[in-house]
Amino acid sequence: MTTPDDHRSTTATGTHASARRGGEDGGEEEPPFGPGSQFRGFLDDPRWALAVIRATVLEAAHPQVGAALMESSTFVAHPWRRLRNTLTSLQRMFGTDDHTREREAARLNRLHARLHGTDPRDRPYDAMDPAVRAWVVATLFESTVTMCRLSGQPLEQKVMERLYREFQAFLAAIEGHADHLPRTLDEFWPYYDRVVAEELENTEAMRIILYKLFDHLPAPPLLHGFPALWATGRAVAGPVAGAITVASLPEPFRRRAGLPEIAGVQTLMQSAYLAAGLARFLPEGWIRAENILDMLTLSPDSDDPRARTITALRDRMKRAGALVRLITPLPPEPEPTPGGEAQRSVREFFAEVLDQTGDGYLDWPDLAAMARELSSRLDLDEPEETRLYTAYADWWRELQSALDADGDGRVSAHEYATAVPSLAGPALIRVAEVLFDATDKNGDQTIDADEYRTLFRTAFHRDATGAAGTYGRSAFVSDFLSFMSGRRRTTPYDPLLADA
């Protein structure tokens, strides 16, 4: 059983003023960002997949973060998207380009400024609270340290000190200062233990991530069309992942939150971290986080060369899926519709596209999540981002006026299905127009291949009207409206707004 001090290095002594001024022997230390960054090397470490889930649970256990996640986050409904966006943001922040880092910090601040309100117990939450932002950074640092310890490769003291300074610099890049993180590593551990002991709670958001995330986890595009295979793997992986994460949490918090102690799980947890650590010895291209996420999200219909690999894997999975259906009572996989264009039912469209937060209702946080995802994809500056949010806000007011029959400020799946509205009204057309303008970076009234890839993260493979390799305004708006009101699956918008 772990003790509260297990995450510390046994060699920690004294203060670290000299370490802050320079590197070993008084030499100049590597800058906190760029290729020499200690943390940047962990982004492609397979162990970090376990660490980031653990950090997310500790974040969600903070009442303010938990409330923000429940009110506005798409983590439950779109985990793959959230994982990719987190990775992209960290790559921008820890990269070599100062301008990119400043833009990303400004984007994160605009995003967080929109996340505030009150929780079910009427306690205020605000994603811009400096203490809360410091806690989020603290969980990333501590989970990285714990990741190394659990995998049998604890960080040396000087490496840990340097890593801590990098996370302080990360917070300062966003917040303007790192005053809400302790000044030294020695001071960090009492701070961490105090927050764990006094502020964390068994929040609903934390319970969902631990126990329910896998229950409704949508299949990545690679596994679309294989519900039996995905359901079987999900049923096994979900409880195991939850148990491993619980076992890795600080023991004082496990006791306070009443999280179960299961015999043998500590050994299973350490084995999982050790196995992930061994994966680091695979060829570099196999374990790059970006490559793995591309394989999970790249559409097989794309003309990206990697799509051929996905197609080959899907062919093999079809054979595996056929075997699973022979030996399990799971329902058969649906037959494709003629012409290959699968249609959604009204309720499917509501759940997969409109209900971005996965709470069963359509309200402003759902449309704000769409605007947030599109703004992130296009790396918009403040004026363009505001235009997009404003267009979505106008569309929400139009939807609310037409569909909110009981006046509760949101639209239920039943209200939507009963009305079966035509969504292609003036406000939605305005959303499409603003999105086109934001995507058309050079303002030539067409979207070229590079602009197309930026938005959809796929190759330019549509049959565009007009000049070869361009996508005109009318075609873009027509395709967007067709997706939002026609409810067809076979468009580039599925990986963007419907898939996880």
Q: Provide the pLDDT for residue 66.
A: 93
380 three-state secondary structure: coil
Cβ atoms of 296 and 221 within 8 Å: the answer is: yes
Query: How far apart (Å, rounded) are the C-alpha atoms in residues 298 and 207?
Result: 30
Q: Above 60 in pLDDT, residue 96?
A: yes
Q: What is the DSSP letter of 343?
A: B
Domains in the chain, please, with CATH? 1-10+29-334 (no CATH), 346-498 (1.10.238.10)
With tokens 């759902």, the residue in question is 366
Alpha helices in 183-279 (DSSP H): 185-198, 204-207, 227-248, 251-257, 265-278
Residue pLDDT, tens place only, 28-77: 667 888 888 888 888 878 888 888 889 999 999 999 999 998 887 787 67
Q: Above 90 in pLDDT, residue 467?
A: no
Q: Provide the pLDDT for residue 173.
A: 96
Q: Above 80 in pLDDT, residue 277?
A: no
Q: Cα–Cα distances in Å, from 48 out to 51, 145, 176?
A: 5, 10, 27
Q: What whole-number percentage of the chain has pLDDT above 90? A: 36
Cβ atoms of 456 and 492 within 8 Å: the answer is: yes
Q: Provide the pLDDT for residue 438.
A: 92
Q: Provide the pLDDT for residue 325.
A: 54
Residue pLDDT, tens place only, 394-440: 999 999 988 888 889 999 988 888 876 556 789 999 999 999 999 99
